[in-house]
Each structure stands twice: as C-alpha cells, then as structure tokens.
Amino acid sequence: MSAPPRPETAPRAAVFLDRDGVLIEERNYLHRVEDAVWIPGTPAALGRLTEAGFWLFVVTNQSGIGRGYYTVADMERVHAHLQREWERAGARVTKIYYAPEAPEQPSRGRKPSPQFLFDAGAEFGVDLSRSYMVGDKLIDLECGWNAGVRRCILVRTGYGAELERSAAAQLTRALVVDDLAAAAAWILAQGSGG
C-alpha cells in the first residue's frame, strides 16, 4: 500500500512516465511478471524524484486488453510487482493511468490524448505547467505537449533511439537523453517538485 499523499499547501509538479520502454524493457504486449525487466537504474531514479517532492504518475496505453490478449488482472499483477520494487527504492507512484482500448476503439485517455494528465491535475492538484512527461514514443511526447507540461523528454531506451533517427524533425521541442536515470538527473537540476 502506498502512503496517503501528504497534505498540500501548494500545487506540486509531477513527472508523468510511460511504462514500457521507459521503466521496463519494451516487450510486445507484456503481461507476465516474469517478463517485466527493469531498465537499469529506474527504481533508484524514481526514488530520487519522490524525495525531491515530485508527484509520480505512470500513463500507459494497454491495447492488449482491448485486443483480448490479456486481462486487467494480468496487468494489475505486473503493476503490483513493479510497485513492490520501486517502494523498496523509496519511490511513490501516486497512480497508474491506463487506457485499455484497442486503437480502433473510442478512448478517453489513450495517448496522445492528454486526458489523464488533466485528470491528475484535477484530482491531485498537480501544476502541469511545471511538470514533465517522459516517454519513448512520439505519442508520449504529444500527450505531454497537448497537456501543456513544461518539457517532454524522450529516452533512447525502448523505441526512443529509433525515433531519434527516423523523426528528428518532430523532436525539436523535446529533450533527448539516454534513459530515465538521465532524465531524472536533468529534471532534478531544474529544481524540486514542491
């Protein structure tokens, strides 16, 4: 169980995180705990962001549910496993937002929709204009841009390196770094979350 959010005196900044290819290795339609492999340094990076006062949220498209490849319960087992490990590193992720729809199904939150970021803003008092989005696909960056976050960061893990090669012209507004640990270091150099 996560600790309840601490009382707010002022809106805090958040770091919104894609899951596959950012926190854990990209595997097509990952839904088994044994396939969830951390990208090195990730739990510790989440711990440092938590310590600096950032809200953390995972925002993930899980079309494998809508396509019938796996269930919400499968996904939740993976998330419970990830949560145990990041809590051990002192990290607190306040909420995992997921869009279960297949691409052809109507969806409120499926990235690049910014809806889950707006939801986090309304539910937790996140200051989106001081927040960050970290992802490995263009839809992650577009989600952050659509929500008006301060900066979107592309990591070269997952699909990121391939995107950097193939779509550089679309990345001029993004910061590109090697991995989440590097993204966290850059974010922390800009200031705390509180």
Binding site for Mg ion (CB under 5 A): 18, 20-21, 136, 158
Measured between alpha carbons, how far is 146 from 110 in angstroms, rounded to an integer? 13
Element (H, E) at 167: none
Give 12 or 43: the residue with its C-beta nearer to Mg ion. Answer: 43
Terminal Cα distance for the chain, rounded: 23
Give 20 or 74: the residue with its C-beta nearer to Mg ion. Answer: 20
Residue 174 Cβ vs Mg ion, minimum distance, rounded to whole Å: 14
By beta-carbon distance, which residue lies closest to Mg ion? 21
Quick one: 2 exposed, middle or buried, by C-beta within 10 A (0-12, 13-18, 19+)?
exposed
Measured between alpha carbons, how far is 67 from 43 in angstroms, rounded to an integer? 30
Q: Which residues are catalytic?
A: 18, 20
CA of residue 9 relative to chain centroid, distance:
25
Give 11 or 145: the residue with its C-beta nearer to Mg ion. Answer: 145
Give 21 or 47: the residue with its C-beta nearer to Mg ion. Answer: 21
Residue 157 Cβ vs Mg ion, minimum distance, rounded to whole Å: 9
Measured between alpha carbons, how far is 162 from 62 in angstroms, rounded to an integer? 21
Residue 4 Cβ vs Mg ion, minimum distance, rounded to whole Å: 29
Measured between alpha carbons, how far is 39 from 23 in angstroms, rounded to an integer? 6
Residue 60 Cβ vs Mg ion, minimum distance, rounded to whole Å: 8
Quick one: 7 exposed, middle or buried, by C-beta within 10 A (0-12, 13-18, 19+)?
exposed
Give 109 or 158: the residue with its C-beta nearer to Mg ion. Answer: 158
Strand residue runs (E) in 62-178: 95-99, 132-135, 151-155, 175-177
